[in-house]
């Protein structure tokens, strides 16, 4: 990486490497027109307040207007934000983004009455309207999805009370964020070059990958020592968040906080329990991986600060963008012609903003509006990692493309529960292709390790987090006190179980719960593990079965939110209420682990 080289200005980036946001709005004045349109629609909808329960026709009119408004808002917002992401220093697009943001806030405020009013319509009445008013049947799934929450919706006075509480309820997360992002300061440590540098959360990740073990240990000790100073404060904020989850679940008459969280996706408890149980069944595989890591690092004791350092020497695999594109095209051939055609279109028709430039937003994402093709933001560097990121984001993009084409706007947007399947599946196929075509031993080891690490980080680690959340919420529900000590004790037991006998579980890491912001977004991380497992299992089916599996998968991509996530996945070939998909995913892990063990023992 050459940091002294200055980045090109936006205007100097060749047009073939820039996305074509003109496909959304040919000019900013077209954007203005839609802003006016959105305002009008929001006003019109505000005028229907209090009338939805009058008749099926009134309800239909409101739902149609709502679709139109949301579609316009999406487009307005997406355009402004993506223009700003091109160059954050551009004040024009900062302005447009600010306007789009406040427009959205206003509009969502104006339509916030719709859901409560629908919930107040008696079920029989609503059913009658759906069968009598032509056009209303289109909204059947949407209406079912709203009325599904009826048993968990309180009287309007109680709902108002809860709504007024919402800012207070988010306080633990806010306080934790302020403490850990703004107020907490980490000490200076000595880096690989003997220089004193301030430890930051961002640098911590880099230090954990340092080949110099002293640096890793110093960063590890310093980080946890600092968190340790705030252990009681953070325990108070985390347990308050947990109490909040339990309070809301009870108030809304859910059997448990976990049940309430999964209910939002209509996911059965068995999916969660099944994930944890199946991972436990396979922990010996994780322990073998840990043993292999210990062997490769050549250490007497493997410590928690040895978990992120690369165990395979970095191989020189320079992959320029155009080569990455060609490789991905070939790797995704098993997905068939239709997929391949759209993929090629994505690569050639202005979907992707490829390279970094001055002021451009960092990272990578896929996004877009319903009426135009999806867009992908990259900051492409010529390496393996970025090729995988590109394949990943194109997975999201093609998912959106297919859902947008097959579904009406009402049902085009897919849920988070299924979102990471399409992206991860592309990564799995890319890995498969690379392993098929790579014979160089060092490169193979590098690739396999890359994948094993993904499994460890996404499947094992996230399941461990999910299990921690489950235990902690259950303890709160049973009235057991949660303190810094009890949280650490729970966390330690999990660490020992997940990492096995070859890992020295340093006492510092008992406090890791204190630095995981995701715990404030309860019962969310398990979706990473289920998504990754589903994708791995589906990629296997596609490679082994061919066309029938491809057809099922394309239907899944076209499903949007026309059905519940679990049903969409089941139709694609993975039933997440059973251990099979997770077992199939882990079978891939096992296969790669065994090859790695063999490659290592051959020396």
Q: Which residues of this chain interact with Zn ion, rule CB under 5 A? A: 423
List, in sequence order, the alpha helices (H) in 10-55: 28-46
Q: Residue 186 or 367: which CB sits closer to Zn ion?
A: 367
Task: Record the tokens describing residue 517, joined without a space.
Answer: 């912001």
CA–CA dist 5, 7 (Å, integer): 7
CB-based closest residue to Zn ion: 423
> Do 38 and 76 form a contact (C-beta atoms < 8 A)?
yes
Name which of 423 and 530 has its Cβ closer to Zn ion: 423
Of the pair 423, 541, the CB lying nearest Zn ion is at 423
Residue number, 423 or 454, with CB nearest to Zn ion: 423
Residue 49: left if φ>0, alpha if ψ -120 to 50, beta else—which one? Answer: beta
Query: Sign of dihedral through CA atoms 286, 290, 292, 293?
Result: positive
Determine phi and psi for 447, rounding to 5 degrees. Answer: -65, -45
Question: By the 8 A CB rule, do 135 and 129 touch?
Answer: no
Residues forming the active site:
393
Minimum gap (Å) between residue 329 Cβ and Zn ion? 20
CB of 349 to Zn ion, least distance (A): 22
CB closer to Zn ion out of 302 and 419: 419
Nearest residue (CB) to Zn ion, 410 versus 423: 423
To the nearest whole angstrom, how small is the minimum distance from the Cβ of residue 585 to Zn ion? 17
- 169: its two tokens: 């309820």
For the bound state, the minimum distance from the C-beta of residue 465 to Zn ion, rounded and expressed in Å, comes to 18
Conformational region of residue 480, where left means phi above 0, alpha means psi within -120 to 50, and beta covers everything else:
beta
Beta-carbon count within 10 A of 38 CB: 25
- Give buried/exposed letters for 343-373 (b at 16+ CB in 10 A, else e): beebbeebbbbbbbbeebbeebebbbbbebb
User: What's the closest the beta carbon of residue 172 comes to Zn ion, in angstroms?
Assistant: 27
Nearest residue (CB) to Zn ion, 75 versus 423: 423
Question: Smallest distance from the beta carbon of 420 to Zn ion, in angstroms?
Answer: 5
Beta carbons within 8 Å of 225's beta carbon, 6+ residues apart: 187, 508
- Return d(Cα 124, Cα 28) in angstroms, integer: 47
Cα distance between residue 369 and residue 371, in whole Å: 6
- Shortest Å, Cβ 516 to Zn ion: 19
Pick the closer one to Zn ion by CB: 210 or 423.
423
Tokens describing residue 273: 């329990």
Q: How far is CA 278 from CA 241, 271, 335, 460, 589, in A?
A: 28, 10, 29, 11, 14
How far CA 156 is from CA of 116, 123, 211, in Å, comes to 8, 17, 60
Q: Which of 379, 377, 423, 380 is nearest to 400 (CA)?
A: 423
- State the minimum distance, in angstroms, from the CB of residue 471 to Zn ion: 28
Rounded to 5, what percent of the chain is helix, strand, coil? 70, 5, 25
Q: Where are the alpha helices (DSSP H) in 170-251?
A: 171-177, 201-208, 213-229, 231-251
């Amino acid at each position: 990486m050459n940091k002294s080289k200055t980045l090109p200005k936006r205007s100097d980036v060749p047009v073939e490497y820039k996305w074509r946001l003109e496909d959304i709005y040919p000019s900013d004045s077209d954007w203005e027109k839609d802003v006016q349109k959105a305002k009008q629609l929001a006003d019109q909808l505000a005028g229907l307040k209090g009338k939805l329960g009058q008749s099926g026709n009134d309800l239909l009119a409101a739902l149609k207007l709502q679709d139109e408004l949301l579609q316009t808002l999406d487009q307005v917002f997406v355009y402004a934000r993506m223009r700003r992401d091109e160059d954050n220093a551009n004040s024009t697009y900062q302005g447009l983004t600010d306007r789009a943001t406040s427009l959205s806030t206003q509009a969502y405020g104006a339509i916030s009455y719709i859901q409560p009013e629908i919930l107040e319509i008696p079920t029989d009445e609503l059913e009658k309207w759906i069968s009598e008013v032509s056009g209303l049947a289109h909204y059947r799934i949407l209406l079912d999805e709203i009325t599904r929450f009826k048993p968990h919706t309180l009287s309007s006075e109680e709902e108002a009370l809860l709504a007024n509480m919402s800012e207070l309820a988010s306080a633990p997360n806010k306080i934790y964020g302020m403490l850990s992002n703004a107020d907490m300061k980490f000490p200076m440590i000595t880096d690989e070059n003997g220089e004193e540098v301030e430890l930051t959360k961002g640098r911590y990740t880099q230090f954990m990958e340092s080949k110099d073990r002293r640096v890793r240990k110093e960063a590890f000790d310093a980080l946890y020592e600092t968190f340790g100073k705030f252990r009681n404060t953070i325990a108070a904020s985390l347990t308050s968040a947990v109490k909040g989850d339990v309070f809301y679940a009870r108030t809304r008459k859910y059997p448990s906080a976990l049940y309430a969280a999964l209910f939002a996706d209509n996911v059965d408890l068995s999916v969660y329990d099944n994930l944890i149980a199946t991972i436990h069944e396979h922990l010996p595989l994780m322990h073998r991986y840990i043993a292999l890591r210990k062997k490769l690092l050549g250490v007497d004791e493997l410590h928690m600060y040895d978990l992120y350092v690369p165990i395979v020497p970095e191989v020189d695999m320079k992959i320029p963008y155009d080569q990455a594109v060609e490789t991905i095209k070939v790797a995704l051939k098993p997905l068939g012609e239709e997929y391949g055609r759209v993929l090629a279109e994505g690569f050639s028709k202005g979907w992707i903003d490829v390279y970094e430039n001055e002021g451009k937003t960092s990272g990578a994402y896929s996004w877009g509006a319903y009426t135009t093709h999806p867009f992908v933001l990259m900051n492409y560097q010529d390496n393996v990692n970025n090729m995988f990121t590109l394949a990943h984001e194109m997975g999201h993009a093609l998912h959106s493309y297919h859902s947008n084409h097959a579904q009406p706007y009402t049902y085009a947007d897919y849920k988070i529960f299924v979102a990471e399947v399409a992206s991860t599946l592309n990564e799995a196929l890319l890995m498969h292709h690379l392993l098929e075509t790579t014979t160089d031993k060092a490169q193979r080891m590098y690739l396999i390790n890359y994948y094993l690490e993904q499994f460890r980080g996404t499947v094992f680690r996230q399941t461990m987090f999910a299990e921690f959340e489950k235990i902690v919420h259950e303890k709160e529900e049973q009235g057991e006190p949660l303190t810094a000590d009890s949280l650490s004790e729970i966390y330690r037991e999990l660490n020992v179980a997940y990492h096995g006998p070859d890992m020295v579980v340093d006492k510092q890491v008992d406090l890791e719960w204190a630095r995981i912001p995701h715990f404030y977004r309860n019962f969310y991380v398990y979706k990473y593990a289920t998504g990754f497992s589903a994708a791995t299992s589906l990629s296997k089916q596609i490679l082994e079965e061919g066309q029938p599996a491809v057809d099922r998968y394309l239907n899944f991509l076209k499903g949007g939110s026309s059905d519940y996530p679990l049903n969409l996945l089941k139709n694609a070939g993975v039933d997440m209420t059973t251990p099979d998909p997770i077992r199939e995913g882990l079978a891939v892990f096992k296969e790669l682990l065994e090859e790695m063990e063999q490659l290592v023992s051959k020396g």
